[in-house]
Every structure is written in C-alpha cells, then in structure tokens.
Amino acid sequence: MDLGIRGKRALVCASSKGLGLGCARALAEAGVDLVMNARGAEALEAAAKAIRKDFGVTIVTVATDVTTEEGRALILEAATGVDILVNNAGGPPPGMWSDWDREDFIKALDANMLTPIALIKALVPGMMARGWGRVVNITSQSVKGPIAQLGLSNAARAGLTGFVAGTSRQVARHGVTINNLLPGSHATDRIAALEENLARSLNISREEASARRKAEIPAGRYGAPAEFGAMCAFLCSQHAGFIVGQNILLDGGQTNVTL
Ligand SMILES: NC(=O)c1ccc[n+]([C@@H]2O[C@H](COP(=O)([O-])OP(=O)(O)OC[C@H]3O[C@@H](n4cnc5c(N)ncnc54)[C@H](OP(=O)(O)O)[C@@H]3O)[C@@H](O)[C@H]2O)c1
C-alpha cells in the first residue's frame, strides 16, 4: 500500500533503538525525511546511517535529552515545520507506590506527559496552518491495564492520554490527527532488562524468564519493533485521517479487556 506521505518530514523522538527506531524505519520506507533524536550520539548516527543507506531519505540527527527544555529547544530548531511528530522517551523506573516522592513524580510527568505535550504545542500550530499533520505518541499498555510496579508510568501516561483525548478533537478539523500507540511487550533492549530482572528475582535462567513472560501473551511471542513501526507509519499516512484520539494496543492480546 502506498501510504501517500513520500516527501513529508517527521520528527521521531528517542529513535536510535527499539520502538522509536521501528517507527523511524517504517516512515523512511514510506519516503519520509526524518529528524531523529536520542541522547547517545554513537547509536543515533549508526541508526541514521543505516536508514539513509536502506531508504535514501534525508536525515538530520539531534543527540540530546528530549525530556529537558534545552534538549527540546535543540530538537525544535532542527524540526521546524515538520508534518509528522512521533513522541517517545524512555519509561520511568519500576518500584513501590509508597517509595515514590514528589521529585520522582515530577520526573516521570516531565518525561512521559509534559515533554510530548510541549512538542505538540510547538509543532501542531504549524500543521494546523498548513492543513495537514500527524502526531503519534508512544505510551504503554499500562494505560488500559495497570502494571502495578510501573505506577509512575501508569500515572504520567494516563495524564498524556487525557490531554490527547480532548486536544485531538480540537485540532482534527484542521487536518491534524493525534493518536496514541500502546505497546505491550516488544523485543527491545528494555525487555531484555526486564527478563534479566525476573530471572534474578526468581532465581531462574534467562531462557526460563523469557518463556514465562511469553506464556502470558496470547500471541505466544514478543512484538517486533518493525511491526510496531508499520502501525505508526499507517497512522501517519494519508489513509488515517479519520482516526482521531484513539488508543491502539499492540500487545499480542496480553491486556485482558473487551474494549
Ligand atoms: N518495549 C516494550 O515492550 C515497551 C512496552 C511498553 C512501553 N514501552 C515504552 O515505549 C518507550 C520506548 O521503549 P523501547 O522498548 O523502545 O526502549 P529502548 O529499546 O530502551 O529504546 C529507547 C530509545 O529511546 C532513547 N531515549 C531514551 N531516553 C531518552 C531521552 N530522555 N531523550 C532522548 N532519547 C531517549 C534511547 O537512546 P539513548 O539512551 O541514547 O537516549 C533509545 O534510542 C518507553 O517509554 C517504554 O517505557 C515499551
């Protein structure tokens, strides 16, 4: 399917690895020029080089922390006038509800709620003026079904979800859509770390930990960043203009909900 977005420009935040990289690659495959970001320059440059080679698109890289005001200023300097914004950043650490203090919450809210909102506020007005735009926020399955030890993530992402629910309906008539993609377990570095934690805490092998995690997923496997990216690229396509303010789970059926 031709996604109809060849020649558009996208900012994909936190995209040197994992799900962000999956989104960057899928958009590049559709012919979209990119602004890519991550904190570590080495992995970012390597990812950009591979995408240029594979798809021949133009890529600008900005190695900085998207969750800081200075970082966002640098990113926005490179991303002025983009047609597509993919919001992403690392997730907050796991823990126990009674241990988190105000500073922990502020940090999580900054990274996973206020950062995407700041980028939406900076870039959506231009999209509205041009009559076309797409915003996809990478959130989590924890928005639909809480993951107890990820309380900071549950809280911050629920806040962003509430903001998107109202805002997406205010900007839709200007040709701009805002939607959220909710990953379940995908095969990224983050999942490798979770498997290692589980293996250590239960004193089992890494293979056993992996098998136990996969057994909880009706699809019987982890998702791939490439299939996550394909859904992101579709939401950014010409065909998705009537999809507004939705929360789309990509979790192999793991979240046990009817709607
Ligand atoms: N993978 C899953 O199964 C899953 C499930 C549910 C939710 N999620 C959420 O989805 C998001 C992406 O997860 P992932 O699995 O793709 O993670 P990942 O494989 O660890 O990749 C994270 C990417 O984001 C970059 N990054 C992290 N913090 C950043 C920051 N402050 N500023 C700029 N770039 C940053 C990293 O590069 P640098 O470290 O060099 O900055 C890297 O490129 C996270 O918020 C995660 O909590 C993931």
CA distance 64 to 118: 16
Q: Determine phi and psi for 61, rounding to 5 degrees.
A: -110, 145
Ligand 1 centre from 247 Cα, in Å?
Answer: 19
Substitution candidate for ligand 1 out of 62, 70, 88, 185 with most atoms within 8 A of CB: 88
What distance in angstroms lies between residue 133's CA and the mean position of ligand 1's atoms?
A: 24
Per-residue pLDDT of the chain (259 residues; tens, 9 = 90+): 999 999 999 999 999 999 999 999 999 999 999 999 999 999 999 999 999 999 999 999 999 999 999 999 999 999 999 999 999 999 999 899 999 999 999 999 999 999 999 999 999 999 999 999 999 999 999 999 999 999 999 999 999 999 999 999 999 999 999 999 999 999 998 888 889 989 999 999 999 999 999 999 999 999 999 999 999 999 999 999 999 999 999 999 999 999 9
Cβ–Cβ under 8 Å, residues 87 and 136: yes
C-alpha 38 to ligand 1 mean position (Å):
9
